[in-house]
């Protein structure tokens, strides 16, 4: 679906199903340098369960116009602006990595708009390796390569994916490479600079699900635990043999966790 | 500066796409020789049919053994995904049918496998899809042949049987400037010799029957998508960017992004055309791929020795092999194919068609048959076999003389191959 948010084109995938205003809304927020299609193994599942699915393209990502938003807070405000434009009063928010920060901040800053929160591949802080930032700044392909190298669990790097013919390593890498120049650097910088996650977590009063990859090197489980502890009501789904790209690495297990959540 | 470390080519050739079988612990890829797969419940069945969840329904659409092959070839090529097919020709048709409708147009190299040439020349026009053939060595000709209804630029890494080296970066640039994808048949080279996506190619296909399988046991094909072509920006591919009624108005580009092409190819093409690969053939081809790097090293090492031998024989008029300095594409081959220019070469024997026939009938070690890319040395006379349907003018345009011999150099001891060719050349000149 395409709508105007703050005067600019914004796009969201709906799981290939017509939107029904009477159904509960579920919003997916992607991570740094990615777009809506990173959720392709979840959106149709959830939509055809009878949910109104919006897998967002944040500004300057995927099919959405505009400039990339500089801070996590700006992105959280944009999510609410999208909800306003789409006529969504309240939604369940599912965010991955940078999108988890955005979803967390949205829930903390706009608690009346978030019914439930799911944070996937998240940590109390997301410091970005200076070499990765430097590569992203120069729009080098090294940046997507490093993200995939550190982001995928060891099993996923060899494959055996449940989706026939799907080569996960290049799927993630190519999607990152297709980001517009400057977008990945902007997003990584926003993650690196965001220090308000723990504070935001203490202000979240909705039910929150953490979906964590046991072998996640980018947002390790031990760095996610303080967030889970800070949220009033949280549960955690731990995905075995899984790195940071949970929804692509282990789509079945992630779906099982989300099925109960949505 | 830190580096991104991933498994390299030979490791991927052995491992990519497979974890030890979770049910039995089997280390080798199991052959799932089954037509169908039991659903967990009705919701699970419905979700698989509706492309909501990944998984297997029926082996015409996908199969666990075949899926390992698909993932492995995608990994070796550096693509986002692959669909395996019953043959290389099925792969080509699947790609064309996924990209265009009637009224579509293809710009293709004129030096193609005879089956591909036939498909473009005689069969696809019956469905309203026409092709303009151009000289593979003339990038400007590709540019000039593109029309408003063109939907694909196509060629082979090495022409068949002319062994022209296609200037992939230049032709990719021309295709992309026109909003078109470049699809390449890389059967002759395999990803071991060239990873075509690194040179701007968008879709690659293989006849897996040849070097990938490598042992002359099983027919198969595959298409692999780089995931880099922007279907949305092009605006010429409604099959990928507009709702498809066959799946409740699913828009493949919208939902699947970089996977749009392979998803549509499988969801529509494998379902409706049905040219699926058998699991046993997938297993056989996987066995071949495990040794692809070793075999290709030996193939190209033998090929240059054989080419140099032939080049020095008085019975031979000319030899076409891009690693010979006499080949017009020698410099381009060095640039694009630094590990070697494959192991297919063509040559002409003095005495024309009659001498060629005598040569073919005199070889002992080399086998006279239609295939290429077997571990064994193979030989054929294209003018009377693979390209026999082409007119004299088309043969001339494709650089195929009446007396041309195509040789697929195997991995036997090079001395034995040369010994066989030597005696056959001598007999070719006798009355």
Question: Of B264, B288, B312, which residue sits at a domain end?
Answer: B288
Nearest to A159 among B16, B255, B256 (CB): B16
| Complex confidence, ipTM | 0.96
Question: Of B241, B257, B288, which closes a domain?
Answer: B288
pLDDT for the residue numbered B248: 87
Q: Determine whether the interchain pair A171/B258 forms a contact, defined as Cβ–Cβ distance below 8 Å.
A: yes
Residues of chain A with C-beta less than 8 angstroms from the C-beta of B6:
145, 148-149, 157, 169
Residue A68's pLDDT is what? 98
H/E element, B82:
strand B81-85
Q: Where are the strands (E) in A81-157, listed by range?
A: 91-96, 114-120
Q: CATH number, domain at B364?
A: 3.90.1150.10
Cβ <8 Å between A165 and B84: yes
Helix (H) or strand (E) holding A53: strand A52-57
A140 touches B at CB < 8 Å: no
Statement: the pTM of the whole predicted model exceeds 0.80:
yes
Backbone angles phi, psi at B294, to 5 degrees: -65, -45
Average pLDDT (B217-242) is: 98
Q: What is the DSSP string of B321-346?
A: -TTSTTSTTHHHHHHH-TT---SEEE
Q: Residue A232: name the closest of A212, A208, A211 by CA.
A: A208
| pLDDT higher than threshold 90 for residue B220 | yes
- Report in angstroms the alpha-carbon separations of A175 from A42, A153, B400: 17, 18, 43
The class that CATH gives domain A2-126+194-261 is: alpha beta
What the block records as the tokens of A218 is 């980018």
What secondary structure, in 3-state letters, does B253-284 show? HHHHHHHHHHHHHHHHHHHHCCCCCCHHHHHH
Non-local (6+) Cβ contacts of B399 within 8 A are B111, B159, B162, B164, B320
Strand locations in B128-266 (E): 130-134, 150-156, 182-185, 203-207, 221-225
The count of domains in chain B is 2
Q: Is the pLDDT of residue B382 over 90?
A: no
Query: In the predicted model, is pLDDT for residue B370 greater than 90?
Result: no
- Å between A257 CA and nearest CA of chain B: 14
- Place B205 in a pLDDT band, splitting at 50, 70 and 90: very high
- Residue B96 has a pLDDT of 98
Which residues 174-203 on chain A approach chain B with CB closer than 8 angstroms? 174-175, 177-178
Residue B402: its pLDDT value, please?
72
With tokens 């030597």, the residue in question is: B422
**A-B C-beta contacts closer than 8 Å:** 153
The distance from CA B162 to its chain's CA centroid, rounded to whole angstroms, is 16
pLDDT greater than 70 at residue B83: yes
* CB-closest option in B52, B227, B230 to A45: B52
Convert the pLDDT of each residue in B102-151 to its tens digit.
999 999 999 999 899 999 999 999 999 999 999 999 999 999 999 999 99
The minimum CA-CA distance between B399 and chain A, rounded to whole Å, is 37
The answer to whether the CB atoms of A178 and B62 lie below 8 A apart is no
Which residue from B6, B79, B255 is facing A40, i.e. has the nearest CB?
B255
Best mutation target among B80, B206, B229 (most A Cβ atoms within 10 Å) is B80
* Pairing label, strands B378-380, B367-368: parallel
Alpha-carbon distance of B375 to B373, in angstroms, equals: 6
Mean pLDDT split into 10-residue runs, chain A, 262 residues: 97 95 97 97 95 98 98 98 98 98 98 98 98 97 98 96 97 97 98 98 97 97 97 96 97 95 94
Binary contact (B67, A164; C-beta < 8 A): yes
In a shared domain, residues B160 and B281: yes
pLDDT of residue B431: 74
Same structural domain, B284 and B335: no
Residue B422 and residue B335 in one domain: yes
Angle between helices B279-290 and B64-77 in degrees, nearest 10: 40
* HSE-up (13 A, CA, CB side) for residue B360: 23
Q: How far is CA B139 from CA B164, B169, B170, B220, in A?
A: 13, 10, 7, 31
By the CB < 8 Å criterion, does A149 face chain B? yes
As a whole number, the mean pLDDT across chain A is 97
The residue among B252, B273, B288 that closes a domain is B288
Cα–Cα dist A184/A206, whole Å: 30
A80: left (phi over 0), alpha (psi -120 to 50) or beta: alpha
pLDDT: which is higher, B97 or B353: B97
Best mutation target, A145, A150, A164, to test chain B (most B CBs within 10 A): A164
Please indicate, yes or no, whether residues B279 and B414 belong to a single structural domain of this protein. no
For residue B400, is pLDDT > 90?
Answer: no
Of A87-96, A226-235, B239-248, B394-403, where does mean pLDDT reach its minimum? B394-403
Minimal CA separation from B33 to chain A, in Å: 16
Q: Please check whether residues B249 and B328 belong to one and the same domain.
A: no
- Report the alpha-carbon distance of residue B204 to residue A100 in Å, rounded: 37
Across A14-28, B182-196, B400-414, least confident range: B400-414
Query: Which of A40, A159, A167 lies nearest to residue B256, judging by beta carbons?
Result: A40
Provide the CATH number for the domain around residue B219: 3.40.640.10
Q: B38 pairs with which residues across the strands?
A: none
- The confidence band for B356, taking pLDDT boundaries of 50, 70 and 90, is confident
Tell me the shortest Cα–Cα distance from B244 to chain A, in angstroms: 10
CA–CA dist B315, B319 (Å, integer):
11
Which residue range forms the structural domain that includes residue B227?
58-288
Of A134, A167, A177, the CB nearest to B75: A167
Tell whether the model's pLDDT for residue B198 goes beyond 90: yes
User: Does residue B242 sit in the same domain as residue B113?
Assistant: yes
Say if residue B284 is in the same domain as residue B300. Answer: no
CA atoms within 13 A on the CB side of B257: 29
Average pLDDT of chain B is 95
Residue of A62, A63, A167 lying closest to B71 (CB–CB): A167
In a domain, B13, yes or no: no
B234-243 burial: b if 16+ Cβ within 10 Å, else e: bebbebbbee
Residue B264 placed within a domain: yes
Task: Please give the average per-residue pLDDT across B325-331, as a whole number.
Answer: 96
């Amino acid at each position: 679906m395409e709508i105007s948010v703050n005067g600019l084109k914004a796009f969201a995938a709906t799981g290939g199903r017509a939107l029904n205003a009477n159904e509960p809304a579920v919003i997916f927020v992607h991570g740094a340098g990615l777009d809506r299609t990173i959720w392709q193994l979840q959106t149709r599942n959830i939509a055809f369960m009878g949910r109104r699915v919006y897998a967002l393209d944040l500004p300057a990502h995927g099919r959405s116009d505009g400039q990339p938003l500089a801070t996590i807070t700006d992105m959280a405000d944009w999510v609410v602006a999208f909800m306003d434009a789409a006529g969504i009063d309240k939604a369940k928010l599912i965010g991955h990595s940078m999108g988890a920060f955005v979803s967390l901040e949205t829930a903390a800053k706009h608690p009346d708009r978030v019914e439930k929160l799911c944070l996937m591949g998240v940590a109390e802080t997301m410091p970005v390796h200076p070499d990765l930032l430097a590569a992203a700044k120069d729009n080098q392909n090294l940046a997507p390569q490093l993200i995939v190298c550190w982001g995928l669990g060891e099993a996923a790097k060899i494959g055996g994916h449940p989706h026939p013919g799907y080569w996960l390593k290049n799927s993630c890498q190519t999607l990152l490479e297709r980001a517009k120049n400057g977008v990945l650097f902007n997003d990584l910088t926003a993650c690196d600079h965001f220090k308000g996650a723990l504070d935001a977590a203490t202000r979240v009063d909705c039910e929150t699900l953490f979906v964590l990859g046991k072998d996640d090197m980018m947002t390790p489980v031990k760095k996610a635990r303080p967030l889970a502890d800070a949220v009033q009501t949280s549960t955690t789904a731990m995905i075995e043999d899984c790195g940071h790209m949970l929804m692509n690495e282990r789509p079945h297990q992630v779906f099982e966790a989300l099925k109960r959540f949505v | 500066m830190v580096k991104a470390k991933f498994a390299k080519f030979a490791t991927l050739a052995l491992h990519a796409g497979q974890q030890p079988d979770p049910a039995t612990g089997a280390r080798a890829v199991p052959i799932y020789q089954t037509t169908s797969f039991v659903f967990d419940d009705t919701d699970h069945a419905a979700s698989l049919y509706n492309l909501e969840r990944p998984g297997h329904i029926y082996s015409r659409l996908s199969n666990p053994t075949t899926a390992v092959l698909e993932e492995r070839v995608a990994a070796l090529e550096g693509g986002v995904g692959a669909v395996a097919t019953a043959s290389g020709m099925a792969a080509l048709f699947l790609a064309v049918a996924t990209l265009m409708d009637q009224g579509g147009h293809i710009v293709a190299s004129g030096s193609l496998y005879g089956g591909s040439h036939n498909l473009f020349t005689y069969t696809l026009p019956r469905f309203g899809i026409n092709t303009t053939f151009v000289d593979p060595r003339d990038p400007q000709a590709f540019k000039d042949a593109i029309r408003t209804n063109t939907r694909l630029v196509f060629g082979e890494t090495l022409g068949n049987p002319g062994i022209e080296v296609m200037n992939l970066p230049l032709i990719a640039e021309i295709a992309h400037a026109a909003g078109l994808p470049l699809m390449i048949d890389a059967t002759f080279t395999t990803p071991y010799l060239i990873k075509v996506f690194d040179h701007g190619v968008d879709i690659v296909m293989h006849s897996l029957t040849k070097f990938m399988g490598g042992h002359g046991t099983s027919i198969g094909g595959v298409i692999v998508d780089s995931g880099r072509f922007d279907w949305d920006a092009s605006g010429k591919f409604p099959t990928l960017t507009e709702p498809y009624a066959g799946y409740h108005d699913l828009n493949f580009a919208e939902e699947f992004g970089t996977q749009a092409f392979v998803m549509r190819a499988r969801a529509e093409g494998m379902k409706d055309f049905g040219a699926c690969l058998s699991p046993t053939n997938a297993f056989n081809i996987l066995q071949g791929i495990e040794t692809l790097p070793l075999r290709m090293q030996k193939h190209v090492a033998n090929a240059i020795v054989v080419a140099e031998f032939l080049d020095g024989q008085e019975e031979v008029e000319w030899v076409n092999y891009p690693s010979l300095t006499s080949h017009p594409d020698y410099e381009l081959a060095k640039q694009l194919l630094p590990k070697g220019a494959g192991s297919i070469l063509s040559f002409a024997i003095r005495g024309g068609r009659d001498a060629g026939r005598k040569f073919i009938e005199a070889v002992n070690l080399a086998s006279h048959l239609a295939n290429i890319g077997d571990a064994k040395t193979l030989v054929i006379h294209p003018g009377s076999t693979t390209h026999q349907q082409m007119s004299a003018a088309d043969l001339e345009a494709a650089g195929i003389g009446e007396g041309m011999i195509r040789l697929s150099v195997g991995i036997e001891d090079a001395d034995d191959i040369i010994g066989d060719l030597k005696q056959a050349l001598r007999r070719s000149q006798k009355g």
